[in-house]
Chain A
């Protein structure tokens, strides 16, 4: 929830009044701060850099502690992100810090899609917040903000220029997150080389249109130091959790045969500047920029994608209610259309199936008819045979009968003849 800048609001109808005594509302900032302290703060850092460039060491050094670190291999098939959350305390301030590291960045042979998992992660956190914000019953003041507030981009200390992977990645991220480029392992570059390197990097960023995070200049208390620091970008850092004895103090340093690189010595590297700017002076501004600029941009794009507009078809401002009603109507119409389509398709299928089945029936019927005819034919043939047989049989019996009759006749005739002779 962003509140307006009272100081910048046009004072139309607002009377300035003077107070006759101490009212006490000058405690308002304290009231606000006390509430924030009670709630606790949260900060999310994303570290992008090649494997082994010193991301985890720098985080350990920055926050003076030993985070759980995994040494990654160079053989990750694609870029992954690993996020870990820690609850830190300093004085009376509680900080919920989430450190997100890229794993396998810059190791693949084809790095064209390397930036995608990072973009996806950042968008996913924005989406999460947006979802919560759009809920009907929401609790934003309890919401654990996981949006990335600062992105430290680790540049290889080649001493020459930015790699194309660096430019491509930063270009994709500069409208989504506050990018703070740092030159890693700065103890491998000499001072003069470093100076040239920084200039080269900044000019390449400018010529490629990459917008990195600028320390804000609008607050007089810190404007001066921020301006100076802006001129030292990108910070050349060295990280170390090991301590070396210098004089009578134990300091964080890296011991070489030729000398000791002291992390907190501003002559040796810009670590202290980074810590000042990132944590002591501008942490709140980083959070604010993430919310009011990067998140708003994401939200605007997402809502426009979903079809929400601020003005209706006649360019009149549309209230929330109208927009929602319109969307609901659209949805219902769409639903109805799909329902009708499906119903039609279903009817079609039913018809087709029906005709199929009818066809099958007809076929069966014709087969039936065919067989019937076959049977009838055979039967007829059989009948014919039978008839023939009966004819033969009857003619035969007639013959036999006739023959028998003849015999009988001739018997009687012969008998008579014999009788006659005998006489």
Chain B
């Protein structure tokens, strides 16, 4: 009924107009607006709130809305704040998820559990929303990126760092950052970075990877970024005047560490990568990889009779096989029984024939004997009659003679 032809490449002569499609997509996406959920994890005092404020050039965290280090409770919490920011006609609903209390206890075993639970619960919400019969707007609260702050100890990763990243690298895009990079000299920083990357590879931790592109220029840039991982950042809430320019920075007696100076730290790289070039990719990887992993694990565990009935098909075929076997056995037994009956019948027939023959033979025998007997009797009787006749004749002659003598 449906005839599909092979795909063909065609060259167009003249104007068609679908080159305008990207613009149509652009317009629609601007109209829809954008969402992004960013998680920041790290011990208190590592400058997380300051960095977020610097990244988004806004007072996300302020005295009215204190950062995680000021909100530590008895146990690790996972809390979110939503802000709406606009720029160039583009609206972004930004959700920042932070974890006050992470790594601050004396005993930090399992302090990642609330984080894992939070991420999973957002996946679950999305899965339920996606699986409803009536789907309307599906708000996307899934965590699309996790900035993990490493303390600038200068030696390597701490056990907590490794544990956390190992447990979360398959659930969320992890971007490890070296916090407060202005406490290390460039050489120390270089050394520290090398050590961290080595340990990350040793423990097979999969941090967020930039996607490959065909564009040579882009690839060059990406390779440059890869060389500088993990990014060492500095954040600041204050603006200082340096050489007539107003910049964000940290004022020290010995100088100003500028946030946006590429020679001072990797902040620019982080901002460009996180916001300006790879934000969409972070969302796509979350949707196509992390969420799909969660979903397939969840659905496989539930075992259902939906559209994917492979397991149930298996059961059905097993049952069918059993049925068939039973049928076969039944047929065989019936056949055996019938055969037996047939044999008995044949036997019966045979014996009957034999018996008949036997009887007939006996019958013939008796007939023969009777015939003989009759013959014998007949001939004897004939003999007897002759004898009788002779006797009679003899006696008559005697009588005759007797009579003659008497004279």
Binding site for B on A (CB under 8 A): 1-7, 9, 11, 13-33, 35-38, 41, 43, 62-65, 67-68, 80-93, 95-96, 117, 120-121, 124, 130-131, 134-141, 218-219, 221-222, 275-276, 279-285, 288, 296, 299-300, 303-304, 306, 308-310, 319-321, 323-325, 327-328, 330-331, 335, 339, 342, 346, 349-350, 353, 357, 360-361, 364, 367-368, 371, 375, 378-379, 382, 385-386, 389, 392-393, 396, 400, 403, 407, 410
Contact = CB atoms under 8 A, between A and B. Distances in A.
A198 B129 CA distance: 44
A396 B366 contact: no
A323 B81 CA distance: 32
A279 to B, nearest CB: 4
A137 B296 contact: yes
Contacts, number: 349
Choose among A5, A65, A285, A350 the residue with the greatest number of B CB atoms under 10 Å from its CB.
A65
A303 B341 contact: no
Contacts of A22: 57, 87
4 smallest beta-carbon distances between A and B, as pairs: A6-B33, A26-B88, A324-B304, A284-B24
A56 to B, nearest CB: 13
B13 A83 contact: no
A382 B367 CA distance: 10
A353 B308 contact: no
B254 to A, nearest CB: 27
Interface residues of B, number: 122
Nearest to A378: B359
A279 B25 contact: no
B280 A32 contact: yes
A412 to B, nearest CB: 14
Contacts of B384: 403
A389 B366 contact: yes
Given A16-B84, A23-B87, A310-B132, A33 B26 contact: yes
Contacts of B9: 86-87
A17 B20 contact: no
A392 B374 CA distance: 9
B3 A24 contact: no
Contact of A14 (B25, B84, B287, B308): B84
Contact of A19 (B13, B58, B334): B58
B345 A13 contact: no
Name the residue among A25, A30, A364 with the largest chain B CB count within 10 angstroms.
A25
Interface in B355-407: 355, 359, 362-363, 366, 369-370, 373, 376-377, 380, 384, 387, 391
Interface in B1-28: 1-22, 24-28
A36 B355 CA distance: 98
B10 A280 contact: no
B153 interface: no
Given A136-B296, A321-B302, A389 B370 contact: yes
A261 B94 CA distance: 56
Nearest to B91: A6
Given A19-B85, A96-B7, A222-B27, 16 more contacts: A2-B137, A6-B34, A6-B93, A14-B83, A16-B86, A18-B58, A24-B271, A32-B280, A41-B21, A134-B306, A136-B299, A279-B20, A280-B20, A320-B127, A367-B348, A375-B352
Contacts of A68: 5, 8
A5 B33 contact: yes
Nearest to B260: A21
A40 to B, nearest CB: 10
B5 A90 contact: no
Contact of A7 (B26, B31, B59): B31
Interface of B: 1-22, 24-36, 55-60, 65, 81-93, 127-128, 130-135, 137-140, 213, 271-272, 275-281, 284, 287-288, 292, 295-296, 298-300, 302-308, 312, 315-316, 319, 323, 326, 330, 334, 337-338, 341, 344-345, 348, 352, 355, 359, 362-363, 366, 369-370, 373, 376-377, 380, 384, 387, 391
A310 B31 CA distance: 30
6 contacts: A3-B32, A29-B29, A41-B21, A141-B287, A324-B303, A339-B319
Contact of A93 (B21, B55, B305): B21
A403 B33 CA distance: 148
Contact of A275 (B16, B315, B323): B16
Given A15-B84, A23-B275, A6 B19 contact: no
A21 B176 CA distance: 25
B138 A13 contact: no
Contacts of B139: 4, 9
Contacts of A371: 348, 352, 355
B195 to A, nearest CB: 31
Contacts of B304: 324-325, 327-328
Most buried by A among B5, B24, B140, B355: B24
B302 A20 contact: no
B240 to A, nearest CB: 14
Given A36-B22, A93-B18, A5 B137 contact: yes
A64 B15 contact: yes
A350 B334 CA distance: 9
A403 to B, nearest CB: 6
A357 B338 contact: yes
B12 A63 contact: yes
Contact of B30 (A18, A24, A29, A364): A29
A283 B27 CA distance: 12
B363 to A, nearest CB: 6
B61 to A, nearest CB: 11
Contacts of B20: 279-281, 283
Nearest to A134: B307
A95 B21 contact: yes
A370 B34 CA distance: 99
Contacts of B366: 382, 385-386, 389
Contacts of A18: 58, 85
Given A1-B287, A22-B87, A27-B277, A83 B5 contact: yes
Given A7-B31, A83-B3, A393 B296 contact: no
B24 A282 contact: yes
A284 B25 contact: yes
Contacts of A81: 1-3
A86 B373 contact: no
Contacts of A219: 27-28, 31
A7 B32 contact: yes
A275 B19 CA distance: 13
